[in-house]
Homo-oligomer: A and B are copies of this chain.
């Protein structure tokens, strides 16, 4: 049989080119000026190719981020579990604070958040594809702490994650305060007081 271009493989190549173009352009020009036209031109495809797979600019950007996280091994989502909840959370929160304070992450993450805030359908996609699995990995660590008696057995884990992460998210989003390692530690300390084992029920 004659060699023919493989349509599935070509599709995959176009898809990758589009996602790479979206990531590059968002860093270069910011989200507001980013257009489907610019992504198509950079990726060397037609606009219709993009619209066949994605309904909006926001949807392309979300998938561009998802492709990044899919590149790493599945275990990357898991939180460290040395048996010491406080120490593990301080490592994680210090790293998270440093990431949010990094100018290289600033533009694309802020752009993605702006889209999610204003597009309920994209918010649902983000929740299902990215935030949901990440939160589930974090809850696994909290359940381990519950089994070890380091966290209240009846703690609401959705509320627990919000207490730990939402103050940092808000401070970053509104630029309302400094993002420092001390702040990360203070968040973990407050979290542990709020969600720690009840004193009567504790076996430690």
- The answer to the question of A81 belonging to the interface, with a C-beta cut-off of 8 Å to chain B, is no
- The answer to the question of A73 belonging to the interface, with a C-beta cut-off of 8 Å to chain B, is no
Q: How many copies does the complex hold?
A: 2
Q: How far is the CA of A8 from the CA of B77 in the complex (A)?
A: 61
- The answer to the question of A78 belonging to the interface, with a C-beta cut-off of 8 Å to chain B, is no
Q: Which of A41-49, A143-151, A171-179 contacts B (4 or more CB under 8 A)?
A: A171-179
Q: How far is the CA of A134 from the CA of B191 in the complex (A)?
A: 25
Q: What residues of chain B lie closer than 8 Å to A156, measured between beta carbons?
A: 186
Question: How far apart are A175's CB and chain B's nearest CB, in angstroms?
Answer: 5
Q: How far is the CA of A114 from the CA of B193 in the complex (A)?
A: 33
- Say which residue of B32, B127, B159, B174 sits within 8 Å of A187 (CB atoms): B159
Question: How far apart are A110's CB and chain B's nearest CB, in angstroms?
Answer: 7
Counting chain B CB atoms within 10 Å of each CB, the highest count among A114, A174, A191, A196 belongs to A174
Q: How far is the CA of A124 from the CA of B167 in the complex (A)?
A: 18
Q: Which of A13-21, A96-104, A115-123 contacts B (4 or more CB under 8 A)?
A: A115-123
- The answer to the question of A136 belonging to the interface, with a C-beta cut-off of 8 Å to chain B, is no
Interface size class of A (residues with CB under 8 A): 35 or more
Q: What residues of chain B lie closer than 8 Å to A186, measured between beta carbons?
A: 156, 159
- The answer to the question of A170 belonging to the interface, with a C-beta cut-off of 8 Å to chain B, is yes
- The answer to the question of A76 belonging to the interface, with a C-beta cut-off of 8 Å to chain B, is no
Q: How far is the CA of A54 from the CA of B31 in the complex (A)?
A: 24
| Given the contacts A191-B194, A193-B193, A174 and B123 also touching, CB distance less than 8 Å | yes
Q: What residues of chain B lie closer than 8 Å to A124, measured between beta carbons?
A: 175
| CB pair A158 B177 closer than 8 Å | yes
Q: How far is the CA of A158 from the CA of B186 in the complex (A)?
A: 11
- The answer to the question of A131 belonging to the interface, with a C-beta cut-off of 8 Å to chain B, is yes
7 contacts between A and B (CB under 8 A): A117-B117, A131-B174, A159-B167, A159-B183, A162-B166, A162-B167, A163-B163
